[in-house]
Amino acid sequence: MNAHQTRSTNPPSLRRFSYIGAAVVTALLLSACQNPGGSGKSTGTQDLFTGKADQLKDWRGFGKAEFPLQGWVVENGWLRHVAKGGGGDVITREKFTDFDLRFEWRIGTAANSGVKYWIDEARGSAVGHEYQVIDDAAHPDALKGPKRQTAALYDALAAVNPAIRPAGAINQSRIIVQGQHVEHWLNGRRVLSYDLGSPELVAAKAQSKFSREAHWGTQFPTPILLQDHGDDVWFRNIVIRKL
């Protein structure tokens, strides 16, 4: 020990507790860095459907008070629409403004579906912005071009280089709405982004089937809609975070 060093006066047992305490604090800090949001509830994350049948109470049929008794079934952790099963579109009871929506899906051969937002039941039909869910290789609508293919803003804007997986394969999708800005993601990649009121979207609307829909392209609190297009489609791990 040199002249500038001093011997610790703490007994060995106290020093051991100090070391243990420091290790615990370090571990907690590392955990916080790796998981800054903590549990899902603390970050505002909400499970819309994660495989539990009782979660259907948070959904109902479009234009209806309750969830349909036919067409939609919970099957092996998936919310499935059975081909030609009827039932109609289903929507969340809650409405959302700014959100980050994530979901997994798979589609039957030559099947078509979609996830919609900015829909208003007062219109009488489920017209809105649609994240296209479809079998690109075999459904006739997809064969009309990229604006009607997977992850597109249906009939308006095409996804850019989407990592498309074939019918029957599981896909991960994401829709982010924040203010006037919207993003579509597919299998970990952003494949489409647009802004409400932008020249690009205005021009796309004018060339689409929605050209005469006054409220298409406007923002308002919206439920999330899963489309019944008469075909086989499966959804699971539908989770939303309010922004």
Q: Is 144 part of a structural domain of the chain?
A: yes
142 domain residue, yes or no: yes
The pLDDT score that the predictor gives to residue 25 is 41
Tokens encoding 208:
């689409």
Residue 139 structural domain: 40-242
Instruction: Give the pLDDT of residue 54.
Output: 97
- Cα–Cα distances (Å) from 243 to 21, 36, 48, 98, 127, in that order, read 37, 16, 16, 5, 24
- Decide if 207 is inside a domain: yes
Using 50 as the pLDDT threshold, list the residues of the chain that sit under it. 1-8, 13-14, 17-42
Is 29 inside a domain boundary?
no
pLDDT for the residue numbered 6: 43
Residue 182 lies in a domain: yes
Residue 12 is predicted with a pLDDT of: 52
The confidence score (pLDDT) of residue 44 equals 85
Question: What is the per-residue pLDDT for 224?
Answer: 98
pLDDT at position 34? 40
- Number of domain units in the chain: 1
The CATH number assigned to the domain holding 135 equals: 2.60.120.560
Indicate whether 16 belongs to any domain: no
pLDDT at 32: 42
